[in-house]
Amino acid sequence: MDPSAPSECFMMVNSPSLETSAMTSTTEAGVRLFVNQAAVQHNYQMLCQLHPQTDHGAVIKANGYGIGAAELAPILEGAGCKSFYVARPSEARGIAQKLSPTSKIYVFHGHNETGFDFYFNNGFIPILYSRPCIENALTYCKKNTLSLNAALLLNTGMNRLGLDSKDLEALDIDVLKETLNIDSIHSHLACGRTKDHPLNNKQMALFTQLCDQHFPEYPRGLSASCQLVLPDYFASHLTRQGLNIFGAFSPDDLGESHSFFPLQFALKVQAKILQVHTVQPGETIGYDASYTAPSPLRIATISMGYADGLPLSASNSTVYTPMLGGIKTPIVGKVSMDLTTLDVTQVPEEHLDQSSWVDVFYDNMSLYNLATAAKSSLHEIILRLGPRCERIFE
């Protein structure tokens, strides 16, 4: 890729995938997730606009953060995305048939278990992260008299996966370049979402040094979704966009600039009301009688529990509340496996029947508040959505 070439992100958005479809359509679904395809495409193209000289890839590992990688891949390709990142070989196989042959699919790990025939035969790009991994790839190429497309991952301070400076010194870089078709060089920021964290610049300096010394001719990428809050020089030639695709972010990360956030929230989760009844003062609700009614309350039981992704730790939360008809409906009592009880005393009766759906999260702040109440992350809350949740792409 020529780093000076303009981004191809602004392609026509016309895509057959923009028709409404249900990923796991079922008449019994008590929980449903709506995915706004136009918002996903808008977000991807807006990220391209912010850094037009950068190739923006989409990270859709873990089944697209649990939302549906096979559905998201063509939606993003329709917005101009040509690079896709997954964690494991099986995830690459799952999206390959949904993409055009010209799109690239990178696989972060799992290479030794799969064997490199898998990558060569399918055109997938393994991201090699250790000396044994590279040695296995070189042996494979020499044995089969071929050259394998591959990317490299450098450890610049996160200390999970990656080649460090000693690894690079021990490798014959010339042989590496002669044997492999090196696509790009990557690393990962440990504290990228904290804009002013001193480790960011330390990692950037080391990444630049190692790339300049060993791989000056290849495109490089250090930042992921955190690029939204970082200075422009972190963007390099490549970025890997993840949660940004859905317009999800932590207001703490953006600080005062969050009111100017250019992305659109693309997700909405709803749960169906199963029953509404009145609880008298002094009566308790749910397991372990953890909530006692202080006055007569109208209680709605919804068809969503921790098996569906609503965390047990959100029980009796004062930080997070679902909504019904624009009115807050706090969780009272413990979230159980399949059911959760809400205080709907303030909700007009016309909204309280078995055809009503409660908004569990519906904008970025509701997702953020739920994650805060659960002492979790935005990523984990989205990933928690279980298989009983119907995914509807609209």
Residues identified as active-site? 61, 287
User: Concatenated DSSP letters for 146-172?
Assistant: --EEEEEEB-SSS-SS-B-HHHHHHS-
154 beta partners: 163
User: Concatenated DSSP letters for 74-114?
Assistant: HHHHHTT--EEEESSHHHHHHHHTTS-TTSEEEE-S-HHHH
* Amino acid present at 116: F
Which of 283, 279, 297, 294 has its CA nearest to residue 343?
A: 297
Whole-angstrom distance, CA of residue 104 vs CA of residue 101: 8
Residues in Cβ contact with 14 at an 8 Å cutoff, skipping those fewer than 6 apart: 78
Q: For residue 329, what are its two tokens? A: 């409906």
| Residue 327 and residue 300 in contact, taking contact as beta carbons nearer than 8 Å | no
10 Å Cβ neighbour count for 284? 14
| Residue 363 and residue 317 in contact, taking contact as beta carbons nearer than 8 Å | no
269 beta partners: 33, 361
Whole-angstrom distance, CA of residue 215 vs CA of residue 219: 9
Whole-angstrom distance, CA of residue 303 vs CA of residue 273: 6
Cα Rg of the chain, angstroms: 24
C-alpha distances in Å from residue 315, one per residue of 91, 159, 280, 310 = 34, 35, 20, 9
Q: For residue 285, what are its two tokens? A: 């609700």
10 Å Cβ neighbour count for 197? 14
C-alpha distances in Å from residue 289, one per residue of 71, 286, 334, 344 = 42, 6, 8, 19
Using DSSP, state whether 271 is helix, strand or coil.
strand
